[in-house]
Amino acid sequence: MVDYKTVRCHFGDVELTKWITITDGFTVFSGADYDPELKEIGGKDGSIFIGTKTKHKVIKVPFWVKYNTIEDYDALQLALSSKKPKMLMFSHIPGRYYLAVQVGDLNFKEIKMNGFGEITFIVADAYAHSTSYRRIKDYTQDGNKMTFKIKNNGTAPAFPIFRIKHLGENGYIGIANETGAFAVGSPEEEDGTIVHRNEVLFDYSKAIAQALDGAPNVAKLNHMPPTYDTELKRMRIDNILGSGKGGEYVVIGNRGTTPGYTEHVGTRTFIINPDSNGEYTMNEHLWWQQIFIATAQDQKGFLKLCVTGIDDEGNDEFLYGIETYKRKNGFETEYNFFALDDDGVGWRFYKQFKFQADRNYHNPFSMNRSRAVEIFREEDKFRIYFNGAHHHVTVPSLKGKKSRKIHLAMGTCSDSSKYINYNLFEKVNFEKMGVSHYNNIVNKYQPGDEVIINFENDTVSTKDIDSIQDVVLGSKMISIPPGESELVVHLSSWVAALPDISIDFEERYK
């Protein structure tokens, strides 16, 4: 039998039993409020049972308190104050928590700075959750089918998180168990037809040192100084701003000081090779990651990637690019998409955004965000990714113009002695979309691509970018029933290397 006087209670990060002692009459096992749904049939006795809906759960905590000063009472009230649910835990049921809010008053009866009271908590989802995730990785294979045996020790369905790390090309992921079926990707096409798939033309996503193989300071940009006077170099940085993350990056090395320059720029230029059919591209996918964090308001600088083609005289011709540019004091920073002007001679901005380039979450290039930049081009039509959304742009002057080079530019502003101290270039990948191949299919997922399907918050991401649009019509949310069950993952029939799949879930208890 539990001696409730010894039970410890935590709400959020605070132990409530520093001030109160739980008394008899306390229980967390009262269950949730169940609401049966019935349908009456006209002219007939009784009703038809449709189902049962679980309402919220109420946990009442009777207590005795002895406090010496009003400060103790204030501390207890502050600990209970919350505008959103917090983790509620009791020591006699270790390994479980509730997401709860305190409601009502304390029903307090005071006796000479002592007293009895009762705290009422509402658990909106009605369930206790395990404090740790159960991970499933073992499976049996039958061709392109992976079968996972899962044991859910909870008493309610659990919502899994799938992490699918591709070790080879794949175009389809289908997940099914007794609760439903869910799929992302593209259905396979028949053999013996002309199909189209993306083709990686260069990939510096694993070894950023390769980026320094590009020709230095010969870039063709939208805006150019007379000469490039800044060096780009490779640097390893660990535990950036205490995030625990780090690696090798391209950074600004020796900063130029040429008098009269408004910008001091260093560049690297990469050649875009033709595809396997010997054709250059007008339909491409350019993806990279960058870190852009200012730690002081007077820091200024920029990072940009520009794409060029070849004009009729055989010279480099600027086509389009994206820049992240902090050009004034404060933290306000520009994120601009620019391209060849309508007259085909100059250039102009087609899409402009602003954000705060400090270390906080609202900065899409901070350490706790994906830091991803993405451009899809289909000749004169563009889809640009920024801060969780894609934006569409049409650039008529680029119709028929093929991409031949990519230029990385990083630099500082001449009117500032301080440059962005976390202006770091991480990874870059360039694909040509829709390359014609015989007897092949669209390979949506490339080796190294990670797909995360999260049924806890109903999200799908691919390479850290929201890809909910890839969900196949008619898909249904998957849950893991209590007890033992099987779950099957189907892949493209032609897949040569099975992906590395982990299934994580919190067990839930009524």
Q: What is the mean pLDDT of residues 10-18?
A: 93
More confident residue, 24 or 159: 159
Q: What is the pLDDT of residue 109?
A: 82
Tell me what pLDDT residue 399 has.
Answer: 94
For the ranges 31-35, 175-179, 333-337, 484-488, the lowest mean pLDDT is seen at: 31-35
pTM: 0.51
Q: 219-249, pLDDT tens digit by residue?
A: 778 777 667 888 898 899 999 999 999 988 9
For 397-419, how does the pLDDT look when each residue is reduced to its tens digit (9 = 90+)?
999 999 999 999 999 987 777 88
Task: Return the DSSP state at 170.
Answer: B
| pLDDT 10s digits, 73-100 | 888 888 998 889 999 999 999 999 999 9
Q: How confident is the model at residue 470 (pLDDT cuts 50, 70, 90)?
A: very high
- Smallest CA-to-CA distance from 410 within 397, 426, 395, 394 is with 426
Whether the pLDDT of residue 194 is over 60: the answer is no
Answer with the residue of higher pLDDT: 208 or 161: 161
Identify the residue whose tokens are 């699918």: 164
Report the 10 Å Cβ neighbour count for 280.
17
**Overall average pLDDT of the 304-315 stretch:** 92
373 with 290: CB under 8 angstroms?
A: yes
Average pLDDT over residues 465-490: 94
Cβ burial of 265 (10 Å; 0-12, 13-18, 19+) is buried
Averaged pLDDT, 96-107 = 89
Nearest to 406 by CA among 299, 319, 297: 319
What's the CA dihedral at 157, 161, 165, 171 to 10 degrees? 70
Average pLDDT in the 162-187 region? 92
Q: Residue 296: what pLDDT?
A: 94
Residue 154 has pLDDT above 60, yes or no: yes
> What pLDDT does 70 receive?
80
CA atoms within 13 A on the CB side of 244: 1
pLDDT tier for residue 192 given thresholds of 50, 70 and 90: very low
Q: Do 66 and 116 form a contact (C-beta atoms < 8 A)?
A: no
Residue 191 clears pLDDT 60, i.e. is over it: no
46 has pLDDT over 50? yes
What is the mean predicted confidence (pLDDT) over 132-161? 96
> Is the pLDDT assigned to residue 186 strictly greater than 60?
yes
pLDDT at 203: 83
Strands lying side by side in the sheet with 140-142: 140-142, 145-152, 483-491, 172-177, 180-185
In the predicted model, what is the mean pLDDT of residues 433-447? Answer: 67
- Closest by CA position to 406, among listed 380, 425, 386: 425
Structure-model confidence comparison of residues 116 and 37, the more confident one: 116
With CA atoms as reference, report the closest residue to 502 among 81, 146, 42: 146
- In this prediction, residues 30-57 reach a mean pLDDT of 70
C-beta contacts of 465-470 below 8 A and 24+ residues apart: 465/370, 465/372, 465/374, 465/385, 466/388, 467/184, 470/184, 470/185, 470/444
Q: Which residue has the higher pLDDT, 106 or 339?
A: 339
Enumerate residues 6+ apart whose C-beta is below 8 A from 509: 96, 127, 128, 129, 154, 155, 156
Q: What are the beta bridge partners of residue 487?
A: 148
Q: State the greatest distance between any 2 C-alpha atoms of the chain, in Å, as a whole number.
A: 95
What average pLDDT is seen over the chain?
87
Alpha helices in 249-345 (DSSP H): none
Q: Which domains does the chain carry?
A: 4-130 (2.40.30.200), 134-188+441-509 (2.60.120.860), 206-438 (2.60.120)
Q: How many CB atoms lie within 10 A of CB 37?
A: 11
For residue 488, which of 142, 126, 59, 65 has the smallest C-alpha distance? 142
1 pLDDT tier (thresholds 50, 70, 90): low
Residue 452 one-letter amino acid: I
Alpha carbon distance 437, 52 (integer Å): 53
